[in-house]
Structure 1
Amino acid sequence: MKLFKNKWLLVTGLVFVTFSLIACDNSKTGTSDKVTIEYFNQKKEMSQVIQEIAKDFEAENPKIHVEVIDVPNAGEVIKTRVLAGDVPDVINLYPQSIELQEWAKAGYLEDLTNEPYLENIKNNYAQRFAVNDKVYSIPLTANVYGFYYNKTAFDKMNLTAPKTWSEFQKLTTDIEKQGKVPFAIAGTEGWTLNGYHQLALATVAGGGTEANDIWRFSKINGISADDPNMQGDFNRLDLLRKSGAMQKNWQGASYNDTVVTFTKGDALIMPNGSWAMPMINSQNPDFEVATFPFPADKADKSLTIGAGDLALSISATSDHKKEARQFIEYMSTPKAMQKYYDADGSPCAVKGVIEHNADSPLNGLTNLAFTDRHLVWLAKDWNSENDFYTLTINYLHNGNKKVMVDALNAFFNPMKADGK
């Protein structure tokens, strides 16, 4: 009898401990039926705002918790996770990227073509990134690329933002004549000149499609230094190579170094994208910042380039697709994206968001957003980019046209087997 009693006490004790552990675990998640969705973030500079928006969503959807994942080298981490089959529920993927295209075709991403919240996106912008006519990414903002400039210094020096390429050439000469450095350049991070080089050719050739016809879709070894379009491309790159055009030690400068050079006033122009604006603001420059697009030969042909920036996809293997859809639907509302825009300032694709374009330093670029003068990154039709960054920087170092053309052919030749 005593043995039976001891056994009964042991069993009831174990039940009590087990129940206590379950109760303790539930206390971490609030209730046992609360769902956690994982949001993989690549916009590190906007992490705090995204966290705030996630909490706003949770307040309206108390049975859903959004875990915002921020990791170093996010681009490489998400590749590893997707290949391992560990795909986050909601992912910030750049919609023009080769990764999104490949993962969509491979079935890793959910088809969002018929989602009702696509109606919240301006000018059918999501459809511009369709893969086989299906939408796998909801672009909520776009980035734009061009030139930041020190408007305060320009005004003091009686200089104005250029509207044509010839005006741009004269501007840089005038800056140097007055003892100032025109450009802040990140020599160790060639991606910062990706937009410069793509726009250089696009403004000569007449657009993004025309530029890719010269580079990506020409014949094998078809890129020639004698091509007039390539001569125009060299001419635009050579603007940076002029003696005194770039800050001292530009070769060793990082992206951060370049922003600091610009915000200290040590160089008056910085080629970069709208993503640099939060970092510029964090440096508290004591001058007015403004922007202008990449000038073409004619004033009404200047261009900017970019793509969806904050753009969201859903894992096709998610166990919580309903909740993931609810979160993206919330993110595509003016309420959520007004908070994001007020901190970021990049063009917003969500209808109803009040954009302060006239007062924004980015106004010189954002007034072209979502128009036919806002090109999508040419790499949408490429299968890699890194070697392109390298050959661009190498040309700034050596100015060797043959070497660059050979590098361009070597870079694009393997892609050409796929055709157009």
Structure 2
Amino acid sequence: MKKMPFLIVMFSFLVLSCEKKEIKPIDLKLFNYKVEYAKQVREVVESFTAKYKGKYSIEIETIPYEAQLVLEARLREKTGWDIIMIPPYSSIEKNASGGYLLDLSSQPFMQKIYDSVKPPVTYDGKVYAMPYGLSAYGVFYNKDIFAANQLSVPKNIGEMKDIINRLQSNKIVPFSICGKDEWTSGYLFFSLISSSMGKEVDRWIESMNEGVSSFNNPKNDRVFEILDFYRANGGSNIKSIDYYVQMKNFASGSTAMLVQGFNEYNVMVDQNSKINAGIFAFPIGEANSSDLCVDVDFAFAISSNIDKEKTEGAIRFLDFLTNYETMELMSKGARIIFGVKDFASSGVTGDIKKYLDEGKIVNWAHRKIPAGVFEESKSRIKKYLTGETTKEEVSKNLDRVWRINIENR
């Protein structure tokens, strides 16, 4: 009987030893190429590891320069990351076709994502990344100017012309246009091509790659007509207006509308924090069916070359990203359009969400074409807007550059 206290002490010691034994976390590595979101990604990771009480450890590596080349090389060598921030289209195609990405098609969290933004991260019928941050391009408008002039968002080009007439009769410049810097013109051009062609844009790109189509076609004729309309209603001397003046003119209320991308919303708010802006799709034709250009900016993928425990942890992290609280954390100090259906929105993001909810979006053509063609379009369309070249010359040169890019692939 005297041995009982000793046995009890030994048993207690063993129990305490087990309780104090440190559980080794499952180590995950996360690849980030968006420097502007580095702080938010870090805070999201901290929140995730806290939720799982140290079960997971996530090391973040941010590579801003030549990020995709580094990513592809490391994945090939199987020395890459477990959770991967990745851009759409070519990066998905290269890494999915190489067998480096996990098929996420059947994951429950993918049900929370808009179907309309899944094609840019789809390869061979399978979804290989979760669209997270989106980009958009359309017509920003000053809601106060519209209200003061009893104007509403146009549904077609006829209503857009009525808006222009009302603004001009009240001595208000309709559009803020940049005619000095080249880079803005390429984005404008391909957003209009996307809107004009709609769902047919992919087939047109395929036919251009096959060498059987041209920029000189009826739907692009309509694009040039819109460019003429746009140029004619941007005030005088647009040739001297650079990007910063373009943004300032709209932010200050000197013009009523601005055709730009969502990233520029941050710039206009920095210039005028009280600006009351909205966004709508540029109406192309007479039908009430204009779609807004929306595409994937960045997505999250999972490496296919990791063990079961790490895969489970990575899946949990992607699911965690779709939580309302996580999206609030991710957008703290940043403006993000999420690919998740129930993200909080108001103002400009609320307008974009409405297009997403209604399925009235079209993916942005410039992300799918040869890079050299997009670069060439910037100078060509800038010259077209300033009256230095013709539609025929633009089409001929872009056709030529496309052929050269295909031949040199």
Q: What interval of TM-score do these two structures reach, taking the shorter chain for normalisation?
A: 0.7 to 0.9
Give, in angstroms, the shift of residue 235 of structure 1: 0.5
Q: What RMSD, in angstroms, separates the aligned Cα atoms of the two structures? A: 3.6
CA contact (8 A) 2:32 2:60 kept: yes
Which of 390, 393, 405 is 2:395 aligned to? Answer: 405
Q: Retained in 1: the 8 A contact 2:40–2:331? A: no
Q: Which residue of structure 1 lines up, in the alignment, with residue 211 of structure 2? A: 220
Question: Is the 2:120–2:295 contact (alpha carbons within 8 Å) kept by the matching residues of 1?
Answer: no
3-state SS of paired residue (1:369): helix
The alignment status of 1:263 with 2:254, answered yes or no, reads no
Alignment pair present for 1:396 and 2:385: yes
SS of corresponding position for 2:284: coil
8 Å contact from structure 1 (residues 91, 312) kept in 2: yes
Q: CA deviation at 1:59?
A: 0.9
Question: How far apart are 1:296 and its partner, in Å?
Answer: 3.0
Q: How does 1:151-230 map to 2 (within 5 A)?
A: 151-186=143-178, 192-194=184-186, 196-205=188-197, 207-209=198-200, 211-214=201-204, 216-218=206-208, 220=211, 222-223=213-214, 225=216, 227-230=217-220
What CA distance in whole angstroms lies between the structure 1 residues aligned with 2:180 and 2:305? Answer: 39
- The amino acid of 1:365's aligned partner reads I
* CA distance, structure 2, for counterparts of residue 323 and residue 250 of structure 1: 54
Q: Does the C-alpha gap of structure 1 residues 308 and 292 become closer, same or farther in structure 2, counting only changes over 3 Å?
A: same
Question: Segments of 4+ in structure 1 off by > 6 A?
Answer: none
Q: 1:170 to 1:370 in 2, by over 3 A?
A: same
Contact residue 101 and residue 131 of structure 1 kept, 8 A: yes
Query: What 5-or-longer segments of structure 2 have no aligned partner?
Result: 1-21
Higher strand share: 2
The alpha carbon displacement at 1:371 in A equals: 4.2
Normalising by structure 1, we get a TM-score of: 0.75
Instruction: Tell me if 1:291 matches 2:284.
Output: no
Residue 127 of structure 2 corresponds to 135
Q: C-alpha offsets along residues 110-143 of structure 1, whole Å, 9 cap, x if unaligned?
A: 3323333223324475366310112211113433
Alignment of 1:89 onto 2:78: no
State the 1:354 CA deviation.
5.0
CA distance in 1, matches of 2:301, 2:104: 8
Tell me the distance in 2 between the aligned counterparts of 1:165 and 1:125.
26
2:318 maps to which residue?
328
2:138 to 140, 146, 167: 146
The one of 367, 390, 396 equivalent to 2:354 is 367
> How big is the shift at 1:35?
2.0
Find 2:44's aligned residue among 42, 48, 53.
53
Decide whether the 8 Å contact of 1:88 with 1:318 is kept in 2. no
Q: Does 1:119 align with 2:111?
A: yes
- What secondary structure sits across from 1:143 in the alignment? strand
CA distance in 2, matches of 1:34, 1:403: 59
Q: Are the structure 2 counterparts of residues 124 and 366 from structure 1 closer, same or farther at C-alpha, using a change threshold of 3 Å?
A: closer
CA distance in 2, matches of 1:116, 1:396: 47
Shift of 1:388: 3.8
Paired with 2:275 and 2:381, the residues of 1 have a C-alpha distance of 31
Once the two structures are overlaid, the 10-residue window that deviates more, 395-404 or 186-195, is 186-195
C-alpha distance in structure 2 between counterparts of 1:411 and 1:179, whole Å = 42
User: For the residues of structure 1 that align with 2:343 and 2:204, how far apart are their CA atoms?
Assistant: 39
Measured in 1, the distance between the counterparts of 2:126 and 2:180 equals: 37
Change (3 A) 1:250 1:183: farther
Alignment length, in residue pairs?
A: 377
Alpha carbons 2:158, 2:286 under 8 Å: kept: no
1:350 to 340, 352, 358: 340
By how many angstroms is 1:295 displaced? 0.8
Give 2:3's aligned residue: none
Question: 1:335-392: per-residue Cα shift (whole Å, max 9, x none)?
Answer: 32244467666553335x3534xx4234443311154421122246434343344433
SS of corresponding position for 1:117: helix
Q: Secondary structure at the match of 2:393?
A: helix
**Stretch deviating more after TM superposition (260-269 or 193-202):** 193-202
The secondary structure found in structure 2 opposite 1:118 is helix
Distance 2:90 2:96 in 1: 10
Name the structure 2 match of 1:376.
363
Aligned partner of residue 174 in structure 2, secondary structure: coil
Residues 162, 281 of structure 1: CA spacing in aligned structure 2 closer, same or farther, 3 A cutoff? same
- Asked whether the equivalents of residues 153 and 280 of structure 2 are also in contact (C-alpha less than 8 Å), the reply is yes
Answer yes or no: is the 8 Å Cα contact 2:133–2:297 preserved in 1. Answer: yes
Q: Calculate percent identity across the aligned residue pairs.
A: 19
Q: Give the C-alpha shift of residue 328 in structure 1.
A: 1.4
1:22-37 to 2 correspondences below 5 Å: 33=25, 35-37=27-29
Partner of 1:26: none
Question: Tell me, which stretches of 5 or more residues in structure 1 are unaligned?
Answer: 1-29
Check the 8 A contact 1:146/1:365 in 2, yes or no: no
SS at match of 1:295: coil
The answer to whether residue 220 in structure 2 is matched with residue 233 in structure 1 is no
- Cα shift at 1:172: 3.6
Instruction: Summarize the Cα distance change of 1:285–1:250 in structure 2 as closer, same or farther, 3 Å threshold.
Output: farther
CA contact (8 A) 2:129 2:299 kept: yes
Q: State the AA in 1 paired with 2:356.
A: A
- Tell me how far 1:156 sits from its aligned partner: 2.8
In structure 2, distance between residues paired with 1:66 and 1:281: 34
1:18-49 deviation digits (Å, cap 9, x = unpaired) = xxxxxxxxxxxx9865625223142x444433
Question: Cα distance 1:101–1:389, how it changes in 2: closer, same or farther (>3 A)?
Answer: farther
